[in-house]
Amino acid sequence: MPDFTDKLFIINKEKGPTSFDVVEAFRKATRERKVGHTGTLDPLAEGVLLLCTGKATRAVEHFMNLPKTYEFEICLGIETSTLDTEGDVIRSAPVPDLDDDAIREAAEGFVGDYEMEPPIYSAIKQGGRRLYEMARAGEAPRIPSRTVKIYELEVLKIAPPLIGFRVRCSRGTYVRSLARDFGRLLGTPAHLAGLVRTAIGPFGLDRAFPSRRISEGDISELRATSLAEALQFLPGVVLKEQSGRALLNGTCPCQNDIVETIGCVDGASALRMIDTSGRLLAIGHRETEDERRRFTIVDSYRLLVSSGGLHS
C-alpha cells in the first residue's frame, strides 16, 4: 500500500455524507489513524475537502486560513429554518420584479468586510454546546455576528426565483447566511438551493479525488501531496545547513542563519523554514516584541518546536 502518512489529500465530497463520514471512510480505506479535515461541508454541499494525515495535521490551521471559493444558487421567495433546502419554511413572499443590474449592484455591495450572523443550525459552540443541538431542543440562543471578508461575489445566472453566484471569501463565512442576507437586501426571503466548494486557496476540484470511491474502498488512484509541496503558498526562508540541523534540535535561527527568502516575507503572519535541499523543517509565526520582528516556531515537519525566535 502507498505511503499515506504525513500528507495532504484533496477530496471531492459528494452530497449526502458529512465531512466526518468522509474522514471515517478515509481512515478505513487507508488504515491511517490520525486524520483531520481543514473545514467542514454541510451534508447537502459538495466540493473540495482537504484531509491531512499524521504530522501534517499540525498544519491544519494554515489550510483553514486560506480563502474559499464557492459556486452556489439561492432561491428567492422562501426562507427556511436551516437557511437551505432541508429546513422548514418559516417565511414566504412573492418574488418582486427585479432588475438584473440591481441584482448585480446588490452583489457588489457585499464585497469587503461583512458583518454576518451565522445560522442557528451550525456547529458553532456556545456554552459548550453546538448551536444546532440547541436549535433542535427548541432553544433560541442569541447568536453574535462575526466579521468576515468577501473578496469577490459574481452573479453567474439570473433566472428568478433562482440566482447563481460565485464567491471567494474568508474563513468563517457561512454561504447560507449570505443567501439569507442577499434576499433581505432585495426585499424578499431567500434560502440556499445548492452549494459547491470549488477551491480552498490553490487546491481546486480539478485535482480532487471522489469521496464516493473512498467510501467504496477504492483508493487505487488517490494522490498524496507532501506537506512541503502543499504549503508552498506560504512565503519562506532558506536556512544554512547547520542552522537547519540546529532548529530540529530546538535551537531557533537568527538573521545570519538565512540563506535567502522565498516570496513576500515582510508582513507574513506565517512562513516556511526550509533547508537548502528544499526540505520543510518548520512553520514560523511572526510576533512583534520590543519593536523587533520575531518568528516563534509553532509547527515542525519532523519535530514540534514550541518556542524561540528569528530576530532582525
Per-residue CA distances from 31 to 60, 87, 219, 304 (Å): 20, 36, 11, 24
- What are the residue numbers of the active site? 42
Tallying the residues shown for the chain, one arrives at 312
Peptide bond into 161 cis (omega under 30): yes
CA dihedral (168, 174, 177, 178) in degrees, to 10, reads 0
Query: In this structure, are residues 273 and 299 in contact, taking their beta carbons and an 8 Å threshold?
Result: no
Query: In this structure, are residues 23 and 51 in contact, taking their beta carbons and an 8 Å threshold?
Result: yes
| CA gap 91, 80 in Å, rounded | 7
DSSP per-residue letters across 31-85: --S-EEESS---TT-EEEEEEEEGGGGGGHHHHHTS-EEEEEEEEETEEETTSBT
Residue whose C-alpha cell reads 441584482 in the numeric block: 103
- Phi, psi torsion values for 244, nearest 5 degrees: -65, -40
Q: Which residues contact 138 (CB under 8 A, 6 or more apart)?
A: none
